[in-house]
Chain A
Amino acid sequence: MDEPMDSGMTSQVVRSQQEGVKLLNQLMEVAQPERVFAAPISEGGYTLINTSEVMTGMGFGFGMGQGETRPGEGQVTEAGETAEEEKGVGGGGGGGGYAMARPVAVISVGPAGVEVIPVADRTKLGIAMLTTLGTMLFMLGRMRRGA
Chain B
Amino acid sequence: MAKGDFGIRVVNNRGEAVRVGDATLTPQSQAVVLRWPNGGLVWNRPVAVRVEQGEDVRQIPILDVTRLVQVGLWVFWIILVFRTAGRLRRQRRG
Question: In the complex, A36→B31 CA distance in Å?
Answer: 10
Q: Is the CB of B40 within 8 A of A24?
A: yes
Q: Is the CB of A104 within 8 A of B42?
A: no
> Interface size on B (CB < 8 Å)?
53
8 A Cβ contacts from A26-65 to B: 27-28, 30-37, 40, 42, 47, 49, 51-61
Q: Is the CB of A128 within 8 A of B81?
A: no
Main secondary structure of the interface of A (DSSP, over half): mixed
| A59-B38, A104-B64 known; A31-B51 Cβ under 8 A | no
A129 at the interface (CB under 8 A from B): yes
Q: Is the CB of B73 within 8 A of A60?
A: no
| A27-B42, A31-B31, A116-B60 known; A49-B18 Cβ under 8 A | yes
How many residue-residue contacts, CB under 8 A, span A and B? 167
Q: Is the CB of B38 within 8 A of A54?
A: no
| A107-B25, A125-B66, A146-B91 known; A53-B45 Cβ under 8 A | yes
Question: In the complex, A113→B52 CA distance in Å?
Answer: 11
Q: Is the CB of B42 within 8 A of A28?
A: yes
A: interface residue count bin? 35 or more
Give the chain B neighbours of A132 by CB distance below 8 A: 73, 76-77, 80
Give the chain B neighbours of A28 by CB distance below 8 A: 33, 35, 40, 42
Q: Is the CB of B66 within 8 A of A107?
A: no
B8 at the interface (CB under 8 A from A): no
Q: Which of A3-11, A66-74, A75-83, A134-142 contacts B (4 or more CB under 8 A)?
A: A134-142
A14 at the interface (CB under 8 A from B): no
Question: In the complex, A17→B91 CA distance in Å?
Answer: 59
Question: In the complex, A60→B14 CA distance in Å?
Answer: 31
Provide 8 A-B residue pairs closer than 8 Å at the C-beta atoms, listed in order of the A residue: A24-B35, A37-B27, A58-B39, A104-B64, A107-B60, A107-B62, A119-B65, A132-B76
- Given A57-B40, A60-B38, A128-B70, 10 other A-B residues pairs in contact with their CB atoms under 8 A: A17-B38, A30-B31, A49-B18, A56-B41, A58-B40, A102-B66, A107-B25, A109-B25, A125-B70, A143-B88
